[in-house]
Structure 1
Amino acid sequence: MTQILIIEDEVPAGQYLTQLIQRINPKAEILDILESVELAVDWLSSNPIPDLIFLDVQLGDGTCFQIFEQISISCPVIFTTAHDEYAMRAFKLNSIDYLLKPIRQESLKFALDKYYQLNEENAITKIKYLEELMHSQILQRKNPRRSFLVPFRDKLIPLKDTDIAWLTIRNSVVVATLHDDRNFVIDKNLEELENQLDAASFFRANRQFIIARESISEIELYFNGRLLVRTLPVSANQILISKERVPVFKKWFEELS
């Protein structure tokens, strides 16, 4: 099942595109139809990245390129527009195709076929790359960070890495949840912490979570080839491992100690 996000400010156009996509691929799941730059940035900041985005160039509150200026989009994009003036700029991004409105079914099918072909060809390469990257990072991290000083009221509280169950982003700051369910703000971003923490004990689950091995209580098979990780203490938000990262997660969980 392909999870697709549509960003389109004209409601009839979004509904029409949905019908065309599902006519071509009935198993495609349309996650949402968003009408503005602001809604798109909010959605992409708080949800797992979709498999594919259909992105209208001209939106009600600006152009789609303003989304790329505010947030990183790593999945493939198919641009849609009534004009071709932005074509060159679009192709500099991770674009699969550039469809002119009114979108014809044969043009859409060609774009989707291109996406599926590229996705299949890259799947094995991506998995191998992630595995090699993970082991490379582990070898380089000879002196992982073992402690933090975190602010609490008018004090600085020492935390050990072994105290941490997971780290996540809340209201644009990183919060560490401890095994006893206390929460502390850490003055680092997840990328910095991912590079500093012990890779044998911590795993970057997705853009929003780094989880500790010791906090994992259960791993559940989830739709679209993903995994749902359950932790103790229980996380209020789902912790999902993407289909592409599942082999790396399994290797990390089973082999590293």
Structure 2
Amino acid sequence: MRYIILEDEHLTAERLAKMVKTARPEYKLLAELDSVSAAVKWLKQNPHPQIAFFDIQLADGISFEVFEQVKIDFPAIFTTAFNEYAIKAFKVNSIDYLLKPIGEADLLLAIEKFERMQQPAAISSELISAITRQLSEPRYRKRFIVWVGEHIKTIDTDGIAMFHAMNKSTFIRTADNRDYGIEFTLELLENDIDPLMFFRVNRSTIISKKFITDIVVYSSSRLKVMLSIPTEEPIIVSRERVADFKQWLEL
């Protein structure tokens, strides 16, 4: 069985591929794609797979946009953190889904379901439109997946005190004052996390409102922010961001 993965988090895609290999060693991964545009380009230039794993929310859009640009003649398993209403829509139309973080048992059940289906249901344009409407409201990341040695750990955004960039790498700092590397730039994070919860105070730091303990006036019309966790360097709100920062505090 030939398959593709459409997922914008490399660690998640890598973990999913390993799980598929464990469940079905004979399955062949044709491509790991990370965006709507990459998926459209690949599907137009290559023979289609027999099955696909599609993350719904991608950096450049929603995976359903692929169906609007390419005729899809293969079944798909969607990975999602969807609400119950949308999940029911998947079930009614014989489209399977996996809630993140994906469990091995759930993955195996989804694969077995598709293997039993002699004629997988077509994904109708009406369904695509209905679910796309549900996705029109902003949806922000609730958790991140990180590697800790050979282990995978999930970190809820509620437990993140700050994101900071250092030496061309980006790190999460958690409530217990630990750093975890992630494959995001701060620019990408700004579009991916809840702006009511997080604010980018300068070029290298995004902080969580939840962890602010004090704010004091600093030199050159800037502000200094103290968090409930220690930091190596003072967190300074740059002069051009001070006005927006004050407004953010009131939200």
Tell me which interval the TM-score lies in, with the shorter structure as reference length: 0.3 to 0.5
- TM-score w.r.t. length of structure 2: 0.45
- TM-score if structure 1 supplies the norm length? 0.44
